Structure 1
Amino acid sequence: MARRTDTRERVVRSAARLFHAQGYHATGLNQVLAEGGAPKGSLYFHFPGGKEQLAAEAVALAGAELCAELRAVLAATPDPAEALDQVLRLLGERLVASDFTCGCPISGVALDASAESEPIRAACVEVYDSWQRVVADHLDRTDADDLAVVVLAAVEGAVLLARTRRDLAPLHAVGARLGLLLGRNAR
């Protein structure tokens, strides 16, 4: 039996998983509560801002978890091109493991709800900015901030294409081209 004090965390984690796989609009609150094993009355007790607050917190949680993983991969791999390969491998493994149903953990919410909700938009911006900072900090270049935007945008696009096509080829193509930009010698 789950402890009563972990209800809030279970609901946020369930929401993060469902938003990741289904997007914001396709995920219902009853579904989140059922998957989180939480009573209906607990939603507005823990999230007085309703689905909007829950989504913003789920985005923050999922984004922070991936950010920590990115930070660990980059810390363990000093060469930027090799680090990119490791990150793309990680993302590709997740796509395959989910049968291409789960790409970026926040993109579905960003696309579905950020135009209509300032708290959700702000949470998405914070996550993307944190990922960009991690990449920029890893690059030892004067143009690190701009290059981090290019890397993030290309990887995010490659994940979307790979998910849509159910094929890792976009990740491989982005890795090859960005690897050259990051200093890898042509193979």
Structure 2
Amino acid sequence: MDTKSVIINTATTLFQQKGYKSVGLNEILKACKITKGALYHHFPNGKEELLIACLRSMNEAITDDMEAIFSQYSTTLEATLALIEELIARFDREGTITGYTFTSIVREMESLSEPVRNASNLLYSQIIRICSDKLVADGMKEEHAYSTALMMTASIEGGILLCLAKKDTIPLQTVMQFLPNILHEN
């Protein structure tokens, strides 16, 4: 793996564990075993540029994973339940789901810059688009599909955060339990 990828992967893990503001550059340098010059060679604008690279990397990984899961199932309900089951399995295996949520990185959203907010918004928009497209394919009207996809995304993201806080998968299991009712109402 090249140095830039090591920096992005390591920083992503640190940001997910501690939040963006709680991770200092020296901690990133030490964890990557690189010099400050090496970091600034790849990220001349510093920590915020690195954060945006981390968010973009997560965006690609999460949306690729979601699209792969959603393409395997004929309905949105089946695909979403499979996605949540995968999240629960990750939690059971690893004791965390940080690789699938980026809210832990940018929980200080109100104090972050516009480029960071834009990078975060792009990921949420793509997740919502994947769900919305599947709902439209299921026969739901486009305008209703978007609002339903937004609610689904908020429920799953909130479920992930609650799982992390509680150290338990019950919040995602609850989302799974109520999801069929929500999708059948629409």
With the shorter chain as reference, the TM-score category is: 0.7 to 0.9
Partners of 1:63 and 1:105 within 8 A in 2: no
2:38 is equivalent to residue 39 of structure 1 = no
Match of 1:162 in 2: 163
Once the two structures are superposed, what CA deviation does each residue of 1:100-134 show, in whole Å capped at 9, x if it has no partner?
37364310222124533222111111111111111
Partners of 1:114 and 1:124 within 8 A in 2: no
- Secondary structure (helix, strand or coil) at the match of 2:74 reads coil
Relative to structure 1, is the Cα distance of residues 113 and 33 closer, same or farther in structure 2, using a 3 angstrom cutoff? farther
Once the two structures are superposed, what CA deviation does each residue of 1:154-180 show, in whole Å capped at 9, x if it has no partner?
111111111111111111111111122
Letter in 1 for 2:174: A
Separation in 2, partners of 1:78, 1:34: 47
Selected match of 1:128 from 124, 132, 135:
124
Relative to structure 1, is the Cα distance of residues 126 and 35 closer, same or farther in structure 2, using a 3 angstrom cutoff? same
The aligned runs of 1:9-28 (5 Å cut-off) are 9-28=5-24
2:98 is equivalent to residue 102 of structure 1 = yes
Separation in 2, partners of 1:146, 1:118: 24
Distance apart, 1:42 and its partner CA: 0.9
Match of 1:84 in 2: 80
Partners of 2:59 and 2:123 within 8 A in 1: yes
Which stretch of structure 1 is more off in the superposition, 86-95 or 51-60?
Answer: 86-95
Matched residues, percent identical? 28
Across the two proteins, how many residue pairs are aligned to each other? Answer: 180
Partners of 1:88 and 1:175 within 8 A in 2: yes
Letter in 1 for 2:47: K
Structure 1: tracts of 5 or more residues without a match = none
Letter in 2 for 1:156: E
The aligned runs of 1:173-184 (5 Å cut-off) are 173-183=174-184
Selected match of 1:112 from 108, 112, 115:
108
Letter in 2 for 1:128: Y
Separation in 1, partners of 2:89, 2:30: 28
Which stretch of structure 1 is more off in the superposition, 105-114 or 79-88?
Answer: 105-114
Relative to structure 1, is the Cα distance of residues 150 and 127 closer, same or farther in structure 2, using a 3 angstrom cutoff? same
Partners of 2:159 and 2:172 within 8 A in 1: yes
- Secondary structure (helix, strand or coil) at the match of 1:52 reads helix
